Structure 1
Amino acid sequence: MAENIREHLRRLLSVPPGKGKPVFLFWLYFFLVITSYYLIKPVRDGLFLEHLGSGMLPWFYLLNTGLGLLVVCLYNQVRRRIRAVPFIQTIGCALILVFFGFRFLFGTFPALAASLFHSWASVYNLVVVLMFWSFADDFFSLDEGKRFFGFIGTGGVLGGVVGGWLAGLLAEILGSANLLIVSSGVLFLGLVVVQILGMAVPSRRGKGLADDQEGEQLGSGFGFASLYRSPYLRLIAVVVTLTMLCTTLLNLQFNRGVELAGFNGDELTSFFGSFYAWMNASALGLQVLVVGPVNRRFGPLPGLAVLPLICFGVFADGLFAASFSVLVLGYGAALSVLYSLNQSSRELLFIPLGIEEKYRAKAFIDVVFFRLGDSLAALAQLLLVSTALFGAAVLQVLGILVSLGWLITLRVLQRQTS
């Protein structure tokens, strides 16, 4: 029976002989690291609201932006000098030790632990995802990546479902802080899979110094130069910035709504875990049932327009009705679309580009302009609301205006694409 299932999947994915095992192992590795992250993400959000409150979130978003850029720079410098498997296992073991350190800190200095853990969890997500995709890029060729990465990516979405579900189930049984130990165990299983990959399917990585030097020459400087020369790339950068600006504004309002809903302690972690489980399940359903048909029939632009329309509706409700149920459902729908239809449609925008623009400029946009959108949302919250210059309703108005500007930018981009 199991052999028949493997054979069916191999034919469905057009996996050549000898590639089925590494494809499955990479899928399993991605599933485990994302499960690990979604076990701690509800802990991060719940304990932060409990001990520091939603009003402190904008400051930490700004801090996390700086930390994220620093981590990416350090990662790129170190990763080129060490083979994939030893690098992943060394960093993974260090991350597990940090889990245990935070578990001790939550038992002694919970407020301090909540503040430090918020930034560390963001760095953790960035590092484990970077390690996974750099390892996968090392092993698979470009053609193999096009064929297998879609399937492998479903492991991450399913990991979000399972991790969120486990957090929602176990938070009130084990306590929020003990989920860190559960997460470290799941991460350890991921390191076991990496070891199996290292023994069974050695990396293709054999690049010499010349390749690394070429990569440095085509790094962030090349990405900025491509952006400067290309109106098309500049429009994509604006779309990415508006995407993160709008969804982060929604995130700030969502956290404020959860804070006012009256959850206490482990109930917060349980709520966030269940929310992320349902959100990822919806994203998986959209990815399987909707993304392919929409992109094949209509191209990328209609798929990109769905998210700003959802954001517009949620902000409009917040301005006139301010229903917590609409906020939860709307933010969940926005994240589901962001991680499925929006992301897949956005990737299609890079297909017409040359190979250098596609990979260097895209990396520059994904790192810099994603973080720029987060930072602008945090600054808007701090300047417009936290300083008491305006009421909270001004963020609803700003969200509506940003959503409309986002739709207009997509219309201009559609003309460029045509």
Structure 2
Amino acid sequence: MPVASWVERCRQLSGCRAGEGRALFWSFCGFFFLLAGYYVLRPVREEMGVVIGPENLQWAFSLTLGGMLAIVPLYGWAASRLSRRRLLLTVFGCTTTVLAAFQAWIAGGVPLPAALALFVWISVFNLVVVSLFWTVMADSFEHAQARRLFGMIAAGGSTGALIGPTITALSVHAVGVHGLLLVAAALILSSLLCVLRVRGPNAHGGSGQPVGGSVFAGLAEVVGSPYLAMIALLAVLQSVVGTFVYFEQARLVKAAALTAESRTQLFAMLDLGVNLLALALQAVVAGRLMQRLGLGITLAVVPLLLTLPLAALAAMPALATVLCIQVVARAGGHGLLRPAREALFTAVDREPRYKAKNVIDTLLSRAGDALGGWLYAIAGLATTGVALAAIPGVLTLAWLGLQLGNRYRRQAAAPTGEGGTGRPAGDSPTAG
């Protein structure tokens, strides 16, 4: 196939138009390296969870929430004073420095305090850096561009999510668990170099400047805006439902009395299935769905699909059914819900984009994890009860998604000073 024809087919697949290729390329590569680094670390976090013990994971989730409570004001302070470039250098630089420190701590063995600290830190860092990445994306692309291109950018992350576990599997015996932390640090630095080169086709000069405002402006924005409050509720409820399924998976896997090697293989196969399906959804489905049916339908599709396997789980409690739910929920979350949710933030001003978004993606998401973990522990439901409790949750998620789609359409169309972005028109939004 001639090169020109191949390039044209790639453009058609990605929805890329003239002048957008460079920004799309560096965005794709930045998310590729970022999630490759995280998925090198993810098995390390799961190993730390084994050291902590499944019966104590709700405490680890609560400590993660505590970590978020400490990080969010620091991030708000930095975002109000640093340019986009300096903010990226600070957050990514701190991430790699802490990884190097943990590598030195666990090189001679993994004491319980180190396992708990590393589990919490990986859970915190993942949300912070991914939230910052998507904030830069929302700062660089217009409304309609986001609906066309965010699915393909997310596909870069899912491609990295396939490479990361492969690197771990091939190198862990050579470098050890502690050595993986340095491998991940190198990948995250590569991500930083790519993200620093991203400048969207319609970005304006102010996009790289400090956003100003107070440290707690993000919380104030969420409380004061019905639109942002609905996005926050969507994130919290998604975390609660996901945590219920995660804990039930852990309980059923433990009850299956598998060997450690078999458990590791099972989780690896699960991650592979999730990431392959997410990649297909991001590259082929997400952009087209957001353009043709709008963000509301895109946000509602996955929760509605989950009602079927949840009903099956209630009728026939089994580990295989829980794993099926995990594949649909996680792949749909990465492949459809995440790109659509990120596109919602293109309809708000820069300060909410950097501050309220970070509060939602980090503090409130981890609050949902902690809430879900304690509700699961306190309720003590059997598998059937967990499934029946989750069904109203996913139906509520679908309803919230549809409502947000309608609000997004109005928010994006509002002129400056009335809830609009105040950014250049670019491609005018069409579907909500």
TM-score of the pair, normalised by structure 2: 0.74
Give CA-to-partner distance per residue, 1:287-331, whole Å, 9 cap, x none: 334445555665555554544455545555555543222222221
Give the match for residue 377 of structure 1: 372
| Cα gap change, 1:343 to 1:191, in 2 (>3 Å) | closer
Q: Could you tell me which amino acid in structure 2 is paired with residue 62 of structure 1?
A: S
Give the match for residue 160 of structure 2: 159
Higher deviation after alignment, 322-331 or 359-368: 359-368
Give the match for residue 102 of structure 1: 102
1:41 aligns with 2:78: no
Give matches, 1:220-299, under 5 Å: 220-227=219-226, 237-262=232-257, 268-269=263-264, 271-292=266-287, 294-295=289-290, 299=294
TM-score of the pair, normalised by structure 1: 0.77
2:332 aligned to which of 337, 340, 348: 337
Q: Could you tell me which amino acid in structure 1 is paired with residue 385 of structure 2?
A: V
Give CA-to-partner distance per residue, 1:141-163, whole Å, 9 cap, x none: 66765654443222112111221
Q: Could you tell me which amino acid in structure 2 is paired with residue 375 of structure 1?
A: A
> C-alpha separation between the residues in 1 aligned to 2:372 and 2:279?
27
Give CA-to-partner distance per residue, 1:240-285, whole Å, 9 cap, x none: 4332211110011122333344455576555434422321110121
> C-alpha separation between the residues in 1 aligned to 2:394 and 2:311?
15
> C-alpha separation between the residues in 2 aligned to 1:285 and 1:271?
21
Q: CA shift at 1:36, angstroms?
A: 0.1
Aligned length: 399
Q: CA shift at 1:401, angstroms?
A: 2.9
Q: Could you tell me which amino acid in structure 2 is paired with residue 379 of structure 1?
A: W
Give matches, 1:119-130, under 5 Å: 119-130=120-131
Query: Unpaired segments of 5 or more residues in structure 1?
Result: 386-391
Give the match for residue 404 of structure 1: 392
1:61 aligns with 2:56: no
Give CA-to-partner distance per residue, 1:28-85, whole Å, 9 cap, x none: 1221011000111122013312x12211111111221232243232112113333444
Q: Could you tell me which amino acid in structure 2 is paired with residue 125 of structure 1?
A: N
Q: CA shift at 1:336, angstroms?
A: 0.8
Give the match for residue 323 of structure 1: 318
Give matches, 1:137-216, under 5 Å: 148-171=149-172, 175-193=176-194, 204-205=205-206, 212-213=212-213
> C-alpha separation between the residues in 1 aligned to 2:350 and 2:208?
18
Assess if the C-alpha contact under 8 Å between 1:171 and 1:267 holds in 2.
Answer: no
| Cα gap change, 1:267 to 1:74, in 2 (>3 Å) | farther
Assess if the C-alpha contact under 8 Å between 2:83 and 2:208 holds in 1.
Answer: no
Higher deviation after alignment, 290-299 or 107-116: 290-299
Q: CA shift at 1:165, angstroms?
A: 3.3
Higher deviation after alignment, 67-76 or 6-15: 6-15
Q: Could you tell me which amino acid in structure 2 is paired with residue 226 of structure 1?
A: S
Q: Could you tell me which amino acid in structure 2 is paired with residue 403 of structure 1?
A: I
Assess if the C-alpha contact under 8 Å between 1:48 and 1:114 holds in 2.
Answer: yes
Give matches, 1:330-369, under 5 Å: 330-344=325-339, 365-366=360-361, 369=364
> C-alpha separation between the residues in 2 aligned to 1:203 and 1:13?
22
> C-alpha separation between the residues in 1 aligned to 2:249 and 2:27?
34
| Cα gap change, 1:336 to 1:155, in 2 (>3 Å) | same
